[in-house]
Each structure stands twice: as C-alpha cells, then as structure tokens.
Structure 1
Amino acid sequence: MIRTIAQQSFRVARPSLRQGPLAAYRCLQTQTTTPAEALDILNKQRALRPTSPHLDIYQPQLTWYLSGLHRVTGVALGGALYALLCAYAAGPALGIHIDSTTLAHTFAAVPLVAKLPLKALVAFPFTFHAFNGVRHLVWDFTKELTVKGVYRTGYTVLGLSVLSAAVLAFI
C-alpha cells in the first residue's frame, strides 16, 4: 500500500514530456509581510478553522468517570503525601510539631460529627485508588476486557471503595 501511494506520487510529480519539462510543477509567489500583518493573517485563518467535537457531544460513560477519578485520586494522594513529608521535614525549623502523638491528640479534640466525614474523605481516595489499581492489574492479565467485564469490575470497584471507606471511617 505504501509503495503504491509513493509510486503514484512520483507519477504525479514527474514532468510530462508532452507539456514540457516544468509542466508538473506549480509556481508559487511569495510576498513579504510585517509581523503584525502575518499575525493578522494567522488570526483570520484561525477564525475560519472548524472546531473538533469535544466531550459535550458524547454520552458520558462509567469508564470515563472511573478513569478521571483514578487520576484525580492518584494526584491527590501523591500531593498529600508530599505536603505531609515537607511539613514533617520543615516542622522543627518552623516550630511546628508534626509527629504522631501531636496528630493523635489534635484529632482526638475534633468532635465526632466532624471526625467521620474527615476520615471518610481521607479513606475513600485511598481505597478507590487501591481497588482500581487492582482492576488495572486484572486487565494486564487480559481478564475482564469485555464491555460487560469492564462495567462489572467498575461497579465492583465503586462498591468496595464505598464500603471499605465507610468501615475505615467508623474505626
């Protein structure tokens, strides 16, 4: 296929003997423009370009949401880990105590009504990211790659994540 296309392009580019040696080549004319004129031409061309369809025209699917949530939870967990490590390292220099005893005493002073949502807020991203990571490992072994399997594992990940986050929040 590639050879055929290349041969056809050479046939087109090769000058015809009937029309003269330069008959197959186009003559181009150029003109000099100032940078402002070039930018104006470019902006006019951009205004006429069609826009490609975006996510608005597609029906949302479970796979989109789980993929996005997996990325968001990964970034959130990584960012929280780095923030905690930086705070732990800079704490003594700033006079802030970030050790397990201080954190435990501070969290013990929080009312129970606020503790459960805070614990669930920390537990859900961790459990979801972990279970969805296992789901991806299952896919790496070429299992559950059908549409039914992808949705089944997706709903399983969501159910296990919510259930385990609730259990961890009530501990």
Structure 2
Amino acid sequence: MATSIVRQSLFRAVAKPSMLRASAPGLMLAQRRFVQTESMTPAENISYLNSQRQHRPNSPHATIYQPQLTWYLSILNRITGVALSGPLYVAAMAYLLHPVIPAIDSAHLISIVQDLPTWLKGSIKLALAVPFTFHSFNGLRHLGWDVGKALTIKGVYTTGYAVLAATAVSSIYLAFFV
C-alpha cells in the first residue's frame, strides 16, 4: 500500500503531460517522440542514403596540407613492404613449380644472371637493395620508437634523415661493391 502511494506521488512529480506518458499504469515512463518516421523498402533506403552522401561535404584532402618528411617515409615504408613481399611470393611460387618446369632451379637462375651485362646486374641489384635497406632501417627506427627513443619532433626528423642517408649509402654499396 505504501509503495503504491510512493509510485503515484513520484508519477505526479516527474510526469509532465507534454513530455512523458505512461504506457500502462505502474510501468516505466517513456519520452514522447517529436520526430515522425516512415518505413522504407531496402532499395528506397539505399537510394536515400546515396542522395545524402552526394550532398555531404568532402573532408580536407592531402593537397591542402604541407608535405612533410614523416608522410613520405610512412608511404615509402608501405610501398617498400609491398615491393619486397611481391617478389618473395613470386619466387616461392616459382620454386613450387619446379617439378612442372624443371628449368626453374638455382643452377639455371645463376647461369642466367651470370650472362647478364654488368650494368644490368648492378641496376637490378640496386632496384632490390633500395627497398630492402630502406624497409630494414625504417623498421629499426620504428623499433626505437617502440622503446620510447627519438619521439620528439627533432628526433623523428633526425632519425628520418638518418634512415634516408643509411639507405643511400648501403644500397649503393650492396649494388655495386658486393
């Protein structure tokens, strides 16, 4: 009896006729909706969403920002990762095809490379050395960041230029002196 009196007085204190309504006596109060909805078919829903997307403003694009070293090194790290993994997968698949195509083995590949002109061998080695050394040195840079080293703006730029210098020197050495 006492709980029903408390409920009624709480209902009178909280409920305002314009904002709240009771769905049934003694149940929780629900807020009245001021937005009217209509049901749509899935096709209508998709066309409505597409029309909304056409009028949505574009977010700022990369062309309005000043290019920075960090952008270029991040993009190059991703590109060199793909450039290294692509030939690795192709070479692995070629060796898997060795039973079908017996000419794909180490001895034949070495004789093919041996017959190439020196300038072409150096160019191929340089094309392989640049992504390998850059990705390796930039990976070491990221490992340094993981342990909390060189995280200031000056440190990020210093290590970025160090990665580029180490890539240039080691790539030239690997391509033409090894």
Query: Which of the five TM-score ranges fits, normalised by the shorter chain?
Result: 0.7 to 0.9
- Are 2:105 and 1:98 equivalent residues in the alignment? yes
The alignment's C-alpha RMSD in Å is 2.2
Which of 70, 87, 99 aligns to 1:63? It is 70
- Are 2:163 and 1:163 equivalent residues in the alignment? no
> How far apart are residue 69 of structure 1 and its match?
0.9
Structure with the bigger percentage of helix? 1
Q: How many residues align?
A: 156
Q: Tell me, what secondary structure is at the counterpart of 2:122?
A: helix
Alignment CA distance shift 1:134-1:39 (3 Å): closer
Distance 1:19 1:38 in 2: 32
Distance 1:69 1:84 in 2: 23
Gaps of 5+ in 1: 1-14
Which of 71, 80, 83 aligns to 2:87? It is 80
> How far apart are residue 16 of structure 1 and its match?
4.8
- Could you list the per-position Cα deviations for residues 16-46 of structure 1 after superposition, in whole angstroms to 9, with x for gaps in the alignment? 5264634952244333445544343223211
Q: Give the structure-2-normalised TM-score.
A: 0.77
Q: Tell me, what secondary structure is at the counterpart of 1:94?
A: coil
Task: Report the equivalent of 1:5.
Answer: none
Alignment CA distance shift 1:105-1:138 (3 Å): same
- Are 2:16 and 1:17 equivalent residues in the alignment? yes
- Is 1:131–1:160's contact at 8 Å kept on the other side of the alignment? yes
- Is 1:16–1:24's contact at 8 Å kept on the other side of the alignment? no
> How far apart are residue 117 of structure 1 and its match?
1.2
Task: Report the equivalent of 1:125.
Answer: 131
> How far apart are residue 106 of structure 1 and its match?
0.8
Task: Report the equivalent of 2:8.
Answer: none
The one-letter amino acid paired with 1:29 is Q
